[in-house]
Amino acid sequence: MDVDGGSTSGAGSSGGAQSVPVLSRRQKALYQFTQQSLPACKPILTPAWVITTFLSLGVILIPLGLVALRASQSVVEIVDRYDNDCIPMPHRSNKVAYIQDESISKNCTRVLKVVHKRMKAPIYIYYQLDNYYQNHRRYVKSRSDPQLLYGLKYKDISSCKPEESNNNQPIVPCGLIAWSLFNDTYTFVHRTMELKVNRKNIAWKSDRDHKFGKDVYPFNFQNGTLIGGGKLNPTVPLSDQEDLIVWMRTAALPSFRKLYGRIEEDLEAEDLIVVHLVNNYNTYTFGGKKKLVLSTSSWLGGKNDFLGFAYIAVGSSCIFICVVFLLVHVKTPRKIPTHVFRVGMLIYLVGLEVLES
């Protein structure tokens, strides 16, 4: 027993001679981070700090909200709903039968008035659809991104069901999204002269260059018995069919706008614009609405008052809380013990020393 204890003691003494590794600054910081021993500065929320913080937020947010609201109000926008008015009176009792009957003309004329302000170019043309759920799970999944890029070279199009093939031949582009392409058309006349609508560069450049093939052409598209929406020119590659590219970027909400084109000339206040449209797209089956939107833009984008009102609301709330805290503090002041300041300052100084070392 004595011999065993002696040998153990000798082993322990030899092991104690090992050197302690010196950690670099980065290794030391990493060690403190993993061991949760990093120095921390815990702020002391005194009444003065809290009141000043809320006051500063209010002073910053309210002017920002006013600027954003002014930018939104500077946007001139014309919205015209035409889905009901473009149905002839004899067919309004059965709108679905009217829109599905190809023998009936779908031409319609609308008159828009530019009110109050001059519309400076570029004037953006949007079509707006309401009660249209492009975010439906089955609808969103019914597409093939590899096929849009590689065309008939890509064979696996099972994700496009139920519009993946017709007459035992694949459809390019396949899927419900492409099949339901919006196909109403608009022509604008101003002072007896037709306005030129620029339909180039309405889609994202990244989509045109990287998601739709430059050598992929429509094939066997809308050749089935049930026609969904618009047709595509089979001689134009998908990368140049920007109306399709815009439509394929599905919307997250049931009410959405998609860019149709741009008018590259100014329109004066009180001007009249005659719109000749073809009411082809079927929204009557599901109770949807169709609207034509003409809009200018500002440095903040299109017309949207929400951001400005949100900034003003939050800033006003901060000012209100600041006033309440100030009144409470004046009525019942609270003194912070001196040792709390000392402890906080000590923690802060120790943290600085550790970080500098």
Q: Long-range contacts made by residues 255-259, C-beta under 8 angstroms, separation at least 24? A: 255/128, 255/129, 255/130, 255/131, 255/132, 256/128, 256/129, 256/132, 256/134, 257/126, 257/127, 257/128, 257/293, 258/126, 258/127, 258/129, 258/182, 259/124, 259/125, 259/126, 259/202
Spatial distance between the Cα atoms of 27 and 175, rounded to a whole number of angstroms: 54
Specify the 3-state DSSP secondary structure of 286. Answer: coil
Strand partners, 291: 81, 128
Does residue 211 contact residue 180 with C-beta atoms inside 8 Å? no
Tell me, what's the pLDDT at 5?
A: 44
Residue 291, amino acid: K
Tell me, what's the pLDDT at 61?
A: 96
- CA dihedral (187, 188, 194, 197) positive or negative: negative
Neighbours of 269 (CB within 10 A): 12
Tell me, what's the pLDDT at 31?
A: 78
Tell me, what's the pLDDT at 192?
A: 87
> Could you read off the pLDDT tens digit of each residue along the chain, which spans 357 residues?
444 444 444 444 444 456 667 778 778 778 777 877 777 777 778 888 899 999 999 999 999 999 999 999 999 999 999 999 999 999 999 999 999 988 999 999 999 988 878 999 999 999 999 999 999 999 999 999 999 999 999 988 989 988 898 888 999 999 999 999 999 999 999 988 999 999 999 999 999 999 999 999 999 998 877 788 899 999 999 999 999 999 999 999 999 999 999 999 999 998 999 999 999 999 999 999 999 999 999 999 999 999 999 999 999 999 999 999 999 988 888 766 655 555 555 665 656 565 555
Tell me, what's the pLDDT at 283?
A: 94
